Amino acid sequence: MIQTTLVQLDNYGPWTVTPEPRAEMCLQALQARLYADLAEAVGHRNGYAFYTRGDNMISVTNGIGREAHAEIQSSLAVQYPVTTSMAIGTGATPKEAVDDASALMQSAGGAQSPNREMVVAGTSAPPSTDQHLSVAHFDVIDVTGRYTDRMGAFETYRTIERGYSSLMDHLYTAHGALSFFVGGDNVVALCPSLPQVAYREALEHVREATGVTLQVGVGTGATATEAGMAAKHGLERCRKETVRITMARD
C-alpha cells in the first residue's frame, strides 16, 4: 500500500495579489523556504516531499500518521504567512494514492476557498515493514562533460527539462509512477514494483524521443528514505561500474 500526502497552500493565489501583486522574488523565497521546511519535517520522519507546483506539494508518507501530519502543519503555520491543508491518500499504485489524496482535498474545500484552513483529511495506512515502496533515482550520463561545461546554461536546462518531461510522461502513462525533477540532472520517481525491463524501456524511450541518455538506480523499502537511499547507492554503482540500471536486489 502506497501512502502519499498532498500538501496544498490555503487560498494562496488570491493572497499573492492582495492588496497588490507582491514582489516576485519575495514569493519565490517564501515558496522555497516553506518547501525546505516541509522537506526537512517529512524527511525527519522518513518520508519524501517534492516541490511539484510549490503551492501543491506531493509527499510520500508511508509510516507517518495523522498526528504527525498535524504537528508538521502547526509548525508551518507558526513560520509562514500562509497555512496548509493536507490530504493523506492511499492506493496500490502511486497514481492511485495521489488521486485518492486529491479527491479528499477537493472534498474538504477548493484551493481558493476562503473557508478551508488547516484541514487534515484522510487516513494513514497502518505501519508496515513490507518493502512496498520502489524509488528510482535517474540522472543524465556525464551531464557535466556533455552539457554543463560545453553548452549554454539555458540550452542545458532545456535538454534536461525535455528528458524529464519525456520520462515523467512515460512512467506515468505506462506504470502510474510519479516522477519529480530534484535539481541538477536528477529525477526521483516513486514507482510501483517493476521488473528491470520496464526501466530499460523507459531509458530507451527517453533516448529515442529526446536524445538524452539516462542511468538509474532502483531501491525498495518500507519508507521513502529507505527506498530512496538504496536507489542512490544503486546510482553510485551505475557510475562506478558503467552499467545503466542497478536494481536493489540484483
Which of positions 19-78 make contact with its own copies (CB under 8 A)?
21-33, 35-37, 39-45, 47-49, 51-56, 58, 71, 74-75, 77-78
Instruction: For the segment 125-144, give every residue that binds its own copies (CB under 8 A).
Output: 144
Judge contact between 42 and 48, C-beta under 8 A.
yes
Of the ranges 118-126, 197-205, 224-232, 241-249, which one interacts with its own copies (CB under 8 A)?
224-232
Helices (H) and strands (E) in the chain, counts: 8, 10
Of the ranges 7-15, 118-126, 192-200, 242-250, which one interacts with its own copies (CB under 8 A)?
7-15
Least spacing, CB of residue 58 vs its own copies, in Å: 6
Give the residue, chosen from 3, 84, 220, 225, that forms a contact with its own copies under the rule CB under 8 A.
Answer: 225
Asked if 222 touches its own copies (CB under 8 A), the answer is no
Instruction: For the segment 159-178, give every residue that binds its own copies (CB under 8 A).
Output: 160-162, 165, 168-169, 172, 178
Question: Considering beta carbons, is residue 1 or 82 the nearer one to its own copies?
Answer: 82
Least spacing, CB of residue 85 vs its own copies, in Å: 12
Q: If 0-12 CB within 10 Å is exposed, 13-18 middle and 19+ buried, where does residue 162 land?
A: middle
Closest CA to 231 of 214, 247, 243: 247
Give the residue, chosen from 63, 192, 221, 228, that forms a contact with its own copies under the rule CB under 8 A.
Answer: 228
CA 236 – CA 163 distance, rounded (Å): 20
Beta bridge partners, 247, equal 218
CA-only gyration radius of the chain, Å:
19
CA 217 – CA 133 distance, rounded (Å): 14
Question: Considering beta carbons, is residue 131 or 157 the nearer one to its own copies?
Answer: 157
3-state secondary structure of 9: strand
Listed in sequence order, the residues at least 6 apart from 106 whose beta carbon sits closer than 8 Å to its beta carbon are: none
Give the residue, chosen from 106, 146, 207, 248, that forms a contact with its own copies under the rule CB under 8 A.
Answer: 106
Least spacing, CB of residue 150 vs its own copies, in Å: 7
Least spacing, CB of residue 20 vs its own copies, in Å: 8
CA 133 – CA 218 distance, rounded (Å): 10
Q: How many residues bind its own copies (CB under 8 A)?
A: 89
Instruction: For the segment 185-204, give every residue that binds its own copies (CB under 8 A).
Output: 185, 188
Torsion of CA 236, 153, 49, 77, to 10 degrees: 150
